[in-house]
Structure 1
């Protein structure tokens, strides 16, 4: 393979995985701006030295490994300056977590890496990565419980999500299938968190429903669900910090809900 072809292949691999690195960075830091800043720094580091792609098991692992090395080298920073209210509470919770557990949990549950791949990314063994996952699951799920509202038009999926959320110890305030029903439900039983599909039964938008609810009731954590995440991970507009891809796994739902409740993320989309 020539250098030109090699560079082209690497660029194609980065382009395909970059939206998901940005999703991970955003979930890790809690907002789009800081997450994108780390993603840009990662790309700059790769451009300066492409040898990492020859040393890793896959281009995707290499991309996340470079990100993690930067994240760790900077002390896994979370800006506490001026943090008040939900932000201040999130920083306090973060300070109590076992080191590296949140990263491992996101890499596995949201991005789908195996424990061996996580070990490669984080420079630990696969067994150590598995231990971090177990610790992370336990700490996140116990960190905060609350009332969760579900916006989902498919009955089977709504029931499945409801059972997962309830099994975590949360209370489900109800299930809404349309934007109008969602807003009415939120007024009747204000939720601590919203878990919303993007496309609803009457062709209305889950994004619009969430934005209307937050405008009326105030900020609260949100997790969006969609079969087409690439349509939302464009960087052209504010993006959700937590995004589950359909078809989802139970582990993904548990992780996203726990992360969102824990970090009190309120990033939403402008429709």
Structure 2
């Protein structure tokens, strides 16, 4: 088979799954650039060896398994020379039990079951369950802070407040519009922002976040949206953490725990 045929085969096989691999890689590394580099390296490896798709896994499990082979061989979670919150995150990462973040992200954000995670990480199910338990404990204990919620649906906003408060974090406020979000952020600087992308008055949560980061900088952001594909295009800067509506409490808890100490402040164009 020619190289062009190989490329065509891969594009058909994994095109619909790449946004989710890139989301996982960015959350794992805390950087769009570094995460995308790992995803690209995975595709390059698959051009040389497609046997992972012949092991009886689902296509998504096979793709993530191929990624983990690259990830484990690289040995470094982020680029050297990082600064700000990413640099500070390295100190926290050094204290975490090996493989816990991977297992937690795969389970809560990407919604793989324990058996699938065991296949992806080349381990057994008992070890995966243990890693997830350790990850929850270590990450929720790592940092507590102030959280700004940008969400126009009252029921969802209340639910997010309850989840975040139950984790021991303080809520600085809930904003339903772009203007209110920027105002609240300036009144009390949050340590984390949870934001929808479509707000009550037709304004954009993306614009609100960009304005807040321009004014205050260095704040982790989690976007919660019913349309994650709008943020996972690869055509512009993207956030490290994206949760899909309808979300689960476990997804929110996982993302909040991690974003508090390891998240990208890269902005988006509306």
TM-score, length basis structure 1: 0.94
> Partner of 1:244: helix, strand, or coil?
strand
Runs of 4+ in structure 1 over 2 Å off:
5-13, 76-79, 81-88
Structure 1 residue 214: Cα displacement: 1.0
SS at match of 2:180: helix
In the alignment, which residue of structure 2 is the partner of 1:66? 66
1:130 is matched with 129
Instruction: Report how many residues are paired.
Output: 266
Q: CA deviation at 1:6?
A: 11
Q: CA deviation at 1:9?
A: 7.1
Q: Which residue is equivalent to 1:159? A: 158
Residue by residue, what CA displacement relative to the aligned partner does 1:90-115 show, whole Å, maximum 9, x if unpaired? 11101111000000011111101001
Give the equivalent residue in structure 2 for 1:25. Answer: 25
Aligned residues: CA RMSD: 1.7
Distance 1:232 1:83 in 2: 23
- CA deviations 1:152-176 (Å, max 9, x no partner) are 0000000000000001110011100
- Counterpart Cα distance in 1 of 2:267 and 2:249: 23
Q: Note closer, same or farther for the CA distance 1:8–1:84 as it changes in structure 2 (3 Å cut).
A: closer
- Whether the aligned pair in 1 keeps the contact of 2:10 and 2:47 (CA below 8 Å) is no
> Which residue number corresponds to residue 184 of structure 1?
183
| Contact 2:31–2:78 (Cα < 8 Å) also in 1 | no
2:115 corresponds to which residue?
116
Paired residue for 2:231? 232
Distance in structure 1 (CA, Å) of the matches to 2:255 and 2:72: 22
Which whole-Å CA distance do the structure 2 matches of 1:221 and 1:229 have between them? 18
Name the residue aligned to 2:220. Answer: 221
- Equivalent runs, 1:70-109 vs 2, <5 Å: 70-79=70-79, 81-109=80-108
Query: SS of 2:171's equivalent?
Result: strand
Alignment gaps of 5+ in structure 2? none
CA distance in 1, matches of 2:135, 2:144: 16
Does the Cα contact within 8 Å between 1:10 and 1:59 map onto a contact in 2? Answer: no
TM-superposed CA distance for 1:269, in Å, is 1.2
In 1, Cα distance between equivalents of 2:249 and 2:13: 28
What is the alpha-carbon distance in structure 1 between the residues aligned to residue 209 and residue 87 of structure 2? 23
1:8, distance to aligned residue in structure 2 (A): 6.8
Residue 45 to residue 214, structure 1, CA distance change in 2 (3 Å): same
- Once the two structures are TM-superposed, the CA of residue 188 in structure 1 deviates from its matched residue by 1.3
SS at match of 1:72: helix
* TM-score, normalised relative to structure 2: 0.94
Assess if the C-alpha contact under 8 Å between 1:195 and 1:225 holds in 2. yes
Secondary structure of 1:113's partner?
A: coil
- Aligned counterparts of 1:218 and 1:22: Cα–Cα separation in 2: 24
Distance 2:81 2:35 in 1: 19
Distance between the aligned counterparts of 1:260 and 1:77, measured in 2?
15
CA drift at 1:86: 2.2
Unpaired runs of 5+ residues, structure 1, are none
Matched, 1:37 2:43: no
